[in-house]
Structure 1
């Protein structure tokens, strides 16, 4: 097929509306033809303005022959079942993070999509931030040498004012403080750079809010191939986003000027062996859009989607171990689930 990939946006809350807004700048790649939202009254006017058919029922999107792919911006615990339904309907899937809450569920979803020949995209837009993409390319090229350590924080206070009935602040949907909201991106980048995690120690506390899942979390990760990552996140302090990678030949520190909801550029400080420390500013970009465009181009066979199934499963295996360690306060081993791909 050719032309823009026709998608259904499933879940039209904060992030679903963000994706609808940014995709207006990518008409040649993606066309939003349907939206699914149980609370139809909340977004009826918006969908009418955008010319998007609105329904309360997910199966309407799955049964629509015009819909080629679904984009899931739904509660975390629903992802596995919704992906299974989409695969059965022959739809490609883009899923907001986290893919699942357990490693076995993640492995099942990855295998279902692979065996059906469907593209599985993930809302790990941090990989599409220009300085992060450059950092990953330089690491892959060996410019940073052997990666030793990663230090990262991604915090904001956007959820403090949410109604406590909102799924985003429920301990059942988002255990371990901000790990599913923000820390998951840092775990993803850590796995991308250092491979499968071996063990993790996580501390999660409730320090200055009544958020039921805790408001401050820190995880110290040891990787199977060597190297460590320290990932921290707060849901109760002003915005901060920092990712720093240290290698034998150099280090790079990336700081966002604003939350990815309304990106405003980045400040990058780095030093290579034998050279002076340098600081540069990177202008605005829209990584949420760019991730979705890459997904659409992968559906059309024009590109290979860069977040691999193994990376997706390794990330959720680490996330599940973070949850377990946050409950026990002890070091937790990371599982190694099997991805049952036919012919592999």
Structure 2
């Protein structure tokens, strides 16, 4: 499908829950890069939201896919729906931006990547952490060798936003969102880990219910070993005040990034770092909007043919690790990845 370089990429947003509504507000700030053509949401209350935001509410996903003025779809839907929705989107030759996780199994992730690649479609992914300025700096320094051999990653991404959710919400369904905060927040940390260290080798997970009645647990940690060497310790809870930390340790230096606030309303970052022979330095980075930067990168890949930051290989490696984390959480044993 050819998309004119003279106009915005026209999108249908599928799903208007908490994060779908956040995406609408971000899309409105994307200027000439993206334009919302319509939305799809089965909840009758979506009519008021669409009216208040000047959105056309399409009758169904199929109706949105049938529109000639839709270049791409943005999936802000429950996790288990992603594989089938990607299948249908690719068949309709629409570019796809999918909120995380891409899938719950490696096989489904491989299929999604393959279908989009074979159809010449861009597959974007809601891993906005890749677009946070201090994380961009870490990835650039790592790829440039400035951190030396990456040895270890330590990361935590926790919040208590789900404590007030209705118990019927899909985000509290262990079939939709298994292993405590893994699919809500931990998936971002494993994405960065496989970007830095490659495919995982095995994982051991602890998942407990300690301070809630969440059926999927509220506190988890995962110890991951990677095929090329190195380890990652990833943890998350669904019952503590917000905290987000991502730290990378290499032979030439280390960097620790801490968010001041949830990405829903970014407030900047605190960076602590050291290099061989230097003192520890502490600095701050001001607010940015990584969700918007991710969407703009997707639009430019669609419209201008620019490479998209997150590769199909990274997507598959991350979901292979997720699948192993789900199995290890159930058994408490070390589980091979893939």
Kindly indicate whether residue 306 of structure 2 is the aligned counterpart of residue 303 of structure 1: yes
Aligned equivalent of 1:8: 12
Contact 1:69 1:94 in 2 (8 A): yes
Question: Which of 122, 126, 131 lines up with 1:123 in the alignment?
Answer: 126
Moved more, 21-30 or 77-86: 21-30
1:302 is displaced (CA, Å) by: 4.4
Kindly indicate whether residue 299 of structure 2 is the aligned counterpart of residue 268 of structure 1: no
1:22 is displaced (CA, Å) by: 1.2
Aligned equivalent of 1:203: 206
Instruction: Give the distance between the partners of 2:241 and 2:213, measured in 1 at CA.
Output: 17
1:309-324 matches, within 5 Å, as: 309-324=312-327
Aligned equivalent of 1:79: 82
Determine helix, strand or coil for the equivalent of 1:127: helix
Aligned equivalent of 2:154: 151
- 1:67-122 Cα deviation digits (max 9, x unpaired): 00000000000000000000010100000000000000000000000000000000
Contact 1:270 1:279 in 2 (8 A): yes
1:217-256 matches, within 5 Å, as: 217-256=220-259
Kindly indicate whether residue 25 of structure 2 is the aligned counterpart of residue 21 of structure 1: yes
Contact 1:38 1:55 in 2 (8 A): no
Kindly indicate whether residue 167 of structure 2 is the aligned counterpart of residue 160 of structure 1: no
Question: Which of 67, 70, 73 lines up with 1:67 in the alignment?
Answer: 70
* TM value normalised by structure 2: 0.98
1:56 is displaced (CA, Å) by: 4.2
Determine helix, strand or coil for the equivalent of 1:219: strand
1:161 is displaced (CA, Å) by: 1.1
Determine helix, strand or coil for the equivalent of 2:255: strand
Instruction: Give the distance between the partners of 1:209 and 1:30, measured in 2 at CA.
Output: 40
Aligned equivalent of 2:91: 88
Q: Kindly report the root-mean-square deviation, in angstroms, between the aligned alpha carbons of the 2 structures.
A: 0.8
1:52 is displaced (CA, Å) by: 1.6
Instruction: Give the distance between the partners of 2:185 and 2:59, measured in 1 at CA.
Output: 28
Instruction: Give the distance between the partners of 2:200 and 2:334, measured in 1 at CA.
Output: 12
Instruction: Give the distance between the partners of 1:27 and 1:51, measured in 2 at CA.
Output: 16
Contact 1:182 1:233 in 2 (8 A): yes
Aligned equivalent of 1:329: 332
How many residue pairs were aligned? 334
Determine helix, strand or coil for the equivalent of 2:232: strand
Unmatched runs of 5 consecutive residues or more in structure 2? none
1:23 is displaced (CA, Å) by: 1.5
Q: Alpha carbons of 1:56 and 1:163: their partners in 2 closer, same or farther (altered >3 Å)?
A: farther
